Structure 1
Amino acid sequence: MTSPYLCPNCKTNRTRFNLIEQLSEPVKLDPATGAVVERYEGEQLSPFHMSYQGPQIKVQCGVCGLIEDEKTFIKLAEYHQYSSPS
Structure 2
Amino acid sequence: MTAPYLCPNCKTNRTRFNLIEQAPTSVKLDPSTGEILETYSEDERSPFHLPYNGPSIKVQCGACGLIEDEKTFIKLAEFDKH
Fold match by TM threshold 0.5? yes
Q: Secondary structure at the match of 1:10?
A: coil
More helix by share: 1
Give the aligned residue type for 2:60.
Q
Query: 1:43: how far off?
Result: 2.6
Q: Secondary structure at the match of 2:80?
A: helix
Identity within the alignment, %: 71
Query: 1:32: how far off?
Result: 1.2
1:6 equivalenced with 2:6 (yes/no): yes
Structure 1 residues 52-71: aligned runs within 5 Å:
52-71=52-71
Q: Secondary structure at the match of 1:78?
A: helix
Task: Provide the rounded CA distance (Å) in 2 between the counterparts of 1:50 and 1:64.
Answer: 34
Which of 1 and 2 has greater Rg? 1
Query: 1:44: how far off?
Result: 1.9
Task: Provide the rounded CA distance (Å) in 2 between the counterparts of 1:14 and 1:76.
Answer: 10
- TM-score, normalization by structure 2: 0.95
Gaps of 5+ in 1: none
Gaps of 5+ in 2: none
4+ runs deviating over 2 angstroms: none
Task: Provide the rounded CA distance (Å) in 1 between the counterparts of 2:54 and 2:43.
Answer: 16
- TM-score, normalization by structure 1: 0.91
Task: Provide the rounded CA distance (Å) in 2 between the counterparts of 1:26 and 1:16.
Answer: 32
Task: Provide the rounded CA distance (Å) in 1 between the counterparts of 2:51 and 2:73.
Answer: 25
Q: Secondary structure at the match of 2:12?
A: coil
Task: Provide the rounded CA distance (Å) in 2 between the counterparts of 1:26 and 1:51.
Answer: 8
Q: Residue 23 of structure 2 aligns with which residue?
A: 23
